Amino acid sequence: MKRIFIAIKVDAAESLLSMMTSLKSGLANESVKWTRIDNIHITLVFLGDTDEGKISGIRSMLKEVCAGSGKFYLSLKGCGVFRNLNDPRILWTGIDHSDKLAQLNEIIVNGLKKLSIKMEDRPYNPHLTIGRIKDVSDIDLLKSLLDRFENSKIQTVPVNEVILYESTLLQTGPVYQPIEKFDL
């Protein structure tokens, strides 16, 4: 079994790094596990523990559906939390709606369904996870930091490829290793 996911790699520009630095500084006394810069990505589909025998079929499907689907750009905008402000768990940067991203997700999900691959059954909500919140004692501080970046345009991201990653969980944090890259 390999823990895998399909994603778009994001190379953090100065604007994203600056926002993350501000959040880290503001939340320095809180319990947040920050995403390593080299791990920043937009998940298309999380598959989790997958039988290694199924990975070659996933690779073939990705090669087929990604080829010629077309390169595009995404806009990172604002930040927020998942769950809610009373019980924040994930600190994220948002992505402006993109028909191309939604279509890419849909063709990959449909390809996985044809292969009878199990995946999370919830609506696609594209975002960048920038931190995992263990505990926040000052919710008002968190809210003011989020408000500061609420409608800020953070960065434009070129999308040229899709990557099938293996995720290895270590005590120091996850390590993401590309299995294969698929040009769009």
Domain ranges of the chain: 2-183
Q: In what order do the strands lie in the sheet with 127-135?
A: 31-34, 127-135, 87-95, 72-84, 153-159
Task: Indicate whether 92 pLDDT > 90.
Answer: yes
Q: What is the pLDDT of residues 2-53, one digit of tens each?
A: 999 999 999 999 999 999 999 999 999 999 999 999 999 999 999 999 999 9
Return the ∠ at Cα 182 (arms to 60 and 74), rounded to 5°. 135
Q: What is the pLDDT of residues 138-169, one digit of tens each?
A: 999 999 999 999 889 999 999 999 999 999 99
Q: Active-site residues: which are they?
A: 41, 127
CA distance 177 to 9: 11
pTM of the model: 0.94
Residue 37's CB is within 10 A of a number of other CB atoms, namely: 13
Domain 2-183 carries which CATH code? 3.90.1140.10
What b/e string do you get for 159-182 counting C-beta neighbours within 10 Å, with b at 16 or more?
A: beebbbbebeeeeeeeebeeeeeb
